[in-house]
Amino acid sequence: MNETILILDSDPIMRAALRDALQPEGYLVITASDLGAAVDRLNEVEPDLLIIRPYINSMSGHLAADYLRTKDPGLPVLVVAGLMDDDRVNVQNSIRHFHAFPKSFERDELLAEVKTVLEHEAGA
């Protein structure tokens, strides 16, 4: 597996938990704690997936993802968020290249969702 995943999350514990779940499965995982760091990472690599929270510092995750897509158009995004009801998940998933995944979740659920998103985006 050679997919690269960029994790943009201001919470160092969440970044580490996501990285620790994904790296053993063969994903190349790079992390960023804010939008500026994420832009720097995009200058270094072309990720296959961006995992982001609904809010990064005081910015909407959608706005941050949209900005990052100006640097990497079509970058698939997986929004990982707590307190998402089915309607909100469906709305997020209806936006092209955006996918929503509610937390809390088990490691295997995260891995299955990441695999599904990457396969879906590869076929898009």
- pLDDT tens digits along 13-60: 989 999 999 999 999 999 999 999 999 999 999 999 999 887 787 787
pLDDT of amino acid 86: 45
For the beta carbon of residue 73, count every other beta carbon within 10 angstroms: 8
Q: Match 């941050």 to its residue by tokens.
A: 64
Domains, in order of start, for the chain: 4-123 (3.40.50.2300)
User: How many CB atoms sit inside 10 A of residue 13's CB?
Assistant: 8
Identify whether 104 is preceded by a cis peptide bond (ω within 30 of 0): yes
**Extended strands (E) in 1-124:** 4-8, 28-32, 49-52, 55-56, 59-60, 77-82, 98-103
Q: How confident is the model at residue 7 (pLDDT cuts 50, 70, 90)?
A: very high
pLDDT digits (tens, 9 = 90+) for 57-112: 778 777 888 888 888 888 898 888 754 444 444 444 444 455 666 666 788 888 98
At residue 12, the 3 state secondary structure works out as helix
User: Tell me, what's the pLDDT at 97?
Assistant: 56
Return the number of other C-beta atoms located less than 10 Å from residue 25's C-beta: 14
